[in-house]
Amino acid sequence: MNKWDRRYSQDESLMLRPLPLIEECCKGMAPARALDLACGSGRHSLYLAGLGWKVTAVDFSEVALVLLQSRATERNLKIDTRLADLEKGEFIIEPESYDLIIDTFYLQRGLFSQIRQGLKIGALLIAVIALIDHDPDLKPMNPDFLLEPGELKSEFSDFEIIHYLETRRDPQKRPNAEIVARKVNRQAEL
């Protein structure tokens, strides 16, 4: 059992409600095809499926995905779950396949190009990812999984940035970068 399986098997109530940013952005959108990367117990997948989205949810934890499927079944929702180690490339984002990609609290810089390619023109990326912090009161985290200030905005500078904020909204008061960005057809602008 990996650390994520242990975490999800100990606390079934982990993160049941979607982030307010996800709710704000998705409540008025027409349901289409969504990808929830490193979905955990699937709070965002469940929310989107409840709105009528066709959701693919990917995670490394089998326990989390079983929990997600159980919750989806209870609510009569269909979610395509995929057990995959994203770091090892076990899930490939197909080009121009998604109308929405969500990435919350998971950073693998190598996925940025797949995210960019996996979104259809006009589709949205919503991401909330931890920023590096030098606060001595916070438990240290592996810097490989932390963004530099401005990095997320810079990475998707070829998108239309609808929302970008670096803030400390999470319960542990860790700094996060939030982005809502629309993939645009830059060729059409030329």
Give me the residue spans of the domains in the chain.
3-189
Please say whether the beta carbons of 54 and 35 come within 8 A: no
Give the Cα separation of 24 and 110 in Å (integer): 28
Q: Are 59 and 40 in contact (CB under 8 A)?
A: yes
Could you read off the pLDDT of 13-61 as tens digits, one per residue?
555 789 999 999 998 899 999 999 999 999 999 999 999 999 999 999 9
* Rounded-to-integer distance, Cα 81 and Cα 169, Å: 28
Query: Torsion-angle region of residue 76: left (phi > 0), alpha (psi -120 to 50) or beta?
Result: left
The first and second tokens of residue 122, run together, are 């006009």
In sequence order, the 6+-apart residues with CB closer than 8 A to the CB of 47 are 18, 22, 23, 26
Low-confidence ranges of the chain (pLDDT < 70): 1-15, 134-141, 169-173, 186-190
Q: How distant, in Å, are the alpha carbons of 52, 108, 126 from that of 79?
A: 11, 23, 19
For the entire predicted model, the pTM comes to 0.87
Yes or no: say if 68 and 49 are a contact pair by the CB < 8 Å rule: no
Q: What is the pLDDT, as a whole number, of residue 188?
A: 54
Please say whether the beta carbons of 97 and 120 come within 8 A.
yes
Q: How far is CA 92 from CA 30, 53, 88, 110, in A?
A: 25, 20, 10, 11
Share of the chain residues as helix, strand and coil, in percent rounded to the nearest 5 = 30, 25, 40
Q: At what angle do helices 62-74 and 43-50 cross, to 10 degrees?
A: 30
pLDDT at 118: 98
Residues in the chain: 190
Q: How many CB atoms lie within 10 A of CB 88?
A: 8
What's the pLDDT at 126?
98
Judge: domain 3-189, CATH 3.30.420.40. no
Looking at residue 44, what is its pLDDT? 97
Neighbours of 52 (CB within 10 A): 12
Q: Identify the burial level of 136 via C-beta atoms within 10 angstroms of its C-beta, where 0-12 means exposed, 13-18 middle and 19 or more buried.
A: exposed
